[in-house]
Structure 1
Amino acid sequence: MSAVIVSEVQLKGKAAKEASYVMVDVSTEEKNRALELIAGQLLKDQELLLAENKKDLLDGRAAGLTDAVLDRILLNEQRIQDMSDAIRLLIDLKDPIGETLEKITKENGLNIEKKRVPLGVIGMIYEARPNVTVDAATLALKTGNAVILRGSSSAKYSNQALVRSIHTALAQSEIPTDAIQLLEDTSRETAKELFQLNEYLDVLIPRGGKQLIETVIRESTVPVIETGAGNCHIYVDEAAQQNMAETIVLNAKTQRPSVCNAIETVLVHNKWFTNHGKALVSALQEKGVEVYGDETVRQACPDVKSVEETDWAFEFLGLSVRIKCVGDVFEAIDHIHQYGTKHSEAIITDDEATAAAFLNRVDAAAVYHNASTRFTDGFEFGYGAEIGISTQKLHARGPMGLNALTSSKFVITGTGQVRG
């Protein structure tokens, strides 16, 4: 009889499932102790992590990856420190597991409680950014979940090194190391197998570009939480202050252009553009931003590149931006609903009624008034870290912290009651 070959996905899926049964009984104190060990181990292993990350960067440059993608892969001392700090913030957050969400006592004495419980085994498929490895692992751990991580080949050395550090830390704790699994085979075949891993996975979360997310949604038989590509917009209203508008637009585009909450399009009221448009374009260009514009913008600024109708849906993830002039807030909202990805959208205005119309009508996970879209982030929202930003409406929406990684169960206790 020929031997049955079991794939890496099946082996690690089974191990994660078994670990998830142990995780439900781990105390908050032990979970926090494990997180503290991980935070310290990352700093201890900093030189090794940077050396492995350098391999990914060298391979990426040789493969012709863009500067935006290389920035997502990059680890440095500050980013490793930030990861460690984020874990320590996670320690301070309340453990949601076991929380009573509802409690009812029936007339017959039957007690019905709805309690928060872990999801079970989370599958995480993501591109480039090795910090997602740590975010997903530690958020899963805090919520009593097991996790199977599948990063991209562009960050394989970094991801492997980070998981080795995590396992070193977990070996000193009561948490089973099998609760954090990394698929080292980053082939498409492995990804497809993960999509069909219903026997072991409870949920699959893709985090990356539009193509990855659409592929997972289309091909997965495991329930998916859709996280968003970020074709984000800022609408500069007629009643916007010039300095405020420029400052926010520049921050939202240039502070870190390779991330999903950076803006890709600026919608500008015609009258505001007539008065301040040239200055805004110049300010963007001075920051190295490549500006594309509609016909109105190009007439005022001939050096701006033209934009085709099909281009409005494209996510640059780099130092490029589109500018379009609109007649009012409702035209801006219509444009956002046609081309946006329901991630983060902002309005700059001193008119409260116009702001209210925008905030109420725009369908997005996060809407802003007089603030940069760059704040759509688990750390900024007080979650310590995030496993992704959900752009769907079921189960979770926006930055997903601890509560988003839980489900619920009903616990019913009685004294011999039967139903008549």
Structure 2
Amino acid sequence: MNQDLITIGKKAQNAANKLALMDTATKNKALIQLADDLIKNKDTVIDANQQDLANATTMPAKFTDRLMVNAQRIEDMANGLRSIADLNDPTAQIDKGWITKDGLQILQRRVPLGVIGIIFEARPNVTVDATGLTFKSGNAVILRGGKEALQTNTALVKILRESLQKQELPVNAVQLITDTSHAVADEMMKLTDYIDVLIPRGGRNLIQRVVTTATVPVIETGAGNCHIYIDKDADLTMATDITVNAKVQRPSVCNAAEKLLIHRDVAAKFLPTIAQALIDHGVQLRGDTDARKLVPAIRPATDEDWATEYNDLIMTVKIVDSLDDAINHINHYSTHHSEAIITNDITRGRYFQQAINSACVYVNASTRFTDGGEFGFGAEIGISTQKLHARGPMGLQQLTTIKYEITGNGQVRK
């Protein structure tokens, strides 16, 4: 095992032990200071980011958007830290308590997970969001970002660590692995003696590599083949506005809609209008035979298209015969992230919500709201698409587990 990783793991465990005992007021004050220091040093971060952008000559534009850091995005990162400081501390609460028949007092208390490892791609905001959420929930974090963002992540972690040191708080609450090789990432995935849970943030290939390689427990996140279904009872204006927003507002993120399904009864009326609105925003449309008959500008869809997360201005269109046909198609091809139905029939909307097997299911709203900040979590560590432990946007609560504290007065079991 890589000795540098073991050293990082030991330092993280030591920091986690101290963080678990830290009171809420101290954590909140520290988060505010982290935010202030981030703003104070924004030029350093932007300069480092310019180095990363200069090296990203072969990276598609949809990914350089994620990589890019400017003054506004640093302000957003800092505001995220401040928002986390305003949230309730889950580790300050007792979930419930009771007295057993033997007179034992049992308390179910919320406690940190311990050391959280995060492997992510070219999104520097993850560095700050993860640090804030893990710190507030009493966890230490080990970060391993992609090589594309190395200079930016290094600058951010240096600022965060120096801020903690200045406050005489555990500096190893956040550590960055600067070796971006696959070999080191694979070793990190097997650091079971030191990392309690691993969270991958990135595309499908990264997530699947972590899931199949790691021996550390993994929370699967992120991949978003998200669908919008326009029902026969939908309002055309609402359907158009939501579809355009879900696809266009920020196409490179995991909660952007990739597929559009339309009920056959309204397809002839709705699709030409919605398609033109999407095309006007630069969206390339692909579709099945029925969709192409209604809008000749739509390109033929392949079998691969239905399962593809584009992260780009591309959308695939399908005409369906019924609500159940839409549900069956979505459940087959979805990555179980976010799906939406547009309908004026609330009964059909509720049925869709119950039948769809995804973490977040919307009625008459854009999938772009699947976000920790939008859900009121302050920020998010990722969006879980699995069912165990956490599902959907993961905030502070999802970074904790439970402990049973049992107090007696001499009881022995008979």
In the TM superposition, residue 417 of structure 1 has moved relative to its aligned partner by 1.3
Match of 1:16 among 12, 18, 29: 12
In the TM superposition, residue 110 of structure 1 has moved relative to its aligned partner by 1.5
1:366-377 superposed matches below 5 A: 366-377=360-371
- Fraction of identical pairs, as percent: 48
Match of 1:130 among 117, 124, 131: 124
Match of 1:192 among 180, 186, 191: 186
Instruction: Tell me the residue number matched to 1:341.
Output: 335
Q: Distance in 1 between matches of 2:391 and 2:358?
A: 9
Are residue 263 (structure 1) and residue 257 (structure 2) matched? yes
Which secondary structure does the structure 2 equivalent of 1:244 belong to?
A: helix
1:198-347 superposed matches below 5 A: 198-347=192-341
Size of the aligned set, in residue pairs, is 414
List gaps (5 residues or longer) in structure 2. none
Q: Distance in 2 between matches of 1:384 and 1:276?
A: 37
Which secondary structure does the structure 1 equivalent of 2:166 belong to?
A: coil
One-letter amino acid of the counterpart of residue 267, structure 2: F
One-letter amino acid of the counterpart of residue 249, structure 1: T
In the TM superposition, residue 6 of structure 1 has moved relative to its aligned partner by 5.0
Q: Distance in 2 between matches of 1:370 and 1:174?
A: 49
One-letter amino acid of the counterpart of residue 125, structure 2: N
Q: Distance in 1 between matches of 2:103 and 2:333?
A: 54
Q: Quick check: 2:107–2:405 contact (8 Å CA) kept in 1?
A: yes
Q: Quick check: 2:235–2:343 contact (8 Å CA) kept in 1?
A: yes
Decide whether aligned partners of structure 1 residues 298 and 118 sit closer, same or farther in structure 2, where only a CA change above 3 A counts. same
Q: Quick check: 1:228–1:342 contact (8 Å CA) kept in 2?
A: no
Match of 1:33 among 18, 29, 52: 29
Q: Quick check: 1:26–1:175 contact (8 Å CA) kept in 2?
A: no
Q: Quick check: 2:2–2:187 contact (8 Å CA) kept in 1?
A: no
Which secondary structure does the structure 2 equivalent of 1:97 belong to?
A: helix
Q: Distance in 2 between matches of 1:66 and 1:60?
A: 9
In the TM superposition, residue 284 of structure 1 has moved relative to its aligned partner by 0.4
Q: Distance in 1 between matches of 2:101 and 2:342?
A: 55
In the TM superposition, residue 108 of structure 1 has moved relative to its aligned partner by 3.4
Q: Quick check: 1:31–1:175 contact (8 Å CA) kept in 2?
A: no
Q: What RMSD over aligned residues (CA atoms) do the two structures have, in Å?
A: 1.1
The Cα offsets for residues 169-215 of structure 1, whole Å up to 9 and x where unpaired, read as 10122421111110000100111001100010100011111111111
Match of 1:95 among 89, 96, 103: 89
Are residue 52 (structure 1) and residue 53 (structure 2) matched? no
In the TM superposition, residue 353 of structure 1 has moved relative to its aligned partner by 2.2
Q: Quick check: 2:320–2:326 contact (8 Å CA) kept in 1?
A: yes
Q: Distance in 2 between matches of 1:13 and 1:269?
A: 53
In the TM superposition, residue 168 of structure 1 has moved relative to its aligned partner by 1.5
In the TM superposition, residue 21 of structure 1 has moved relative to its aligned partner by 1.2
Q: Distance in 1 between matches of 2:245 and 2:80?
A: 23
In the TM superposition, residue 18 of structure 1 has moved relative to its aligned partner by 1.4
One-letter amino acid of the counterpart of residue 35, structure 2: A
Which secondary structure does the structure 2 equivalent of 1:108 belong to?
A: coil
One-letter amino acid of the counterpart of residue 155, structure 1: A
Q: Quick check: 1:235–1:346 contact (8 Å CA) kept in 2?
A: yes
Q: Distance in 2 between matches of 1:41 and 1:114?
A: 37
Task: Find runs of 4+ consecutive structure 1 residues off by over 4 angstroms.
Answer: none
Q: Taking structure 1 as the reference length, what is the TM-score of the superposition? A: 0.97
Q: Distance in 1 between matches of 2:303 and 2:172?
A: 49
The Cα offsets for residues 362-403 of structure 1, whole Å up to 9 and x where unpaired, read as 011000000000000000000000000001111010000000
One-letter amino acid of the counterpart of residue 291, structure 1: L
Instruction: Tell me the residue number matched to 2:404.
Output: 410
Decide whether aligned partners of structure 1 residues 294 and 6 sit closer, same or farther in structure 2, where only a CA change above 3 A counts. closer
The Cα offsets for residues 33-88 of structure 1, whole Å up to 9 and x where unpaired, read as 11011100110011111110111111112xx1111100010111111111111111
Q: Distance in 2 between matches of 1:85 and 1:332?
A: 39
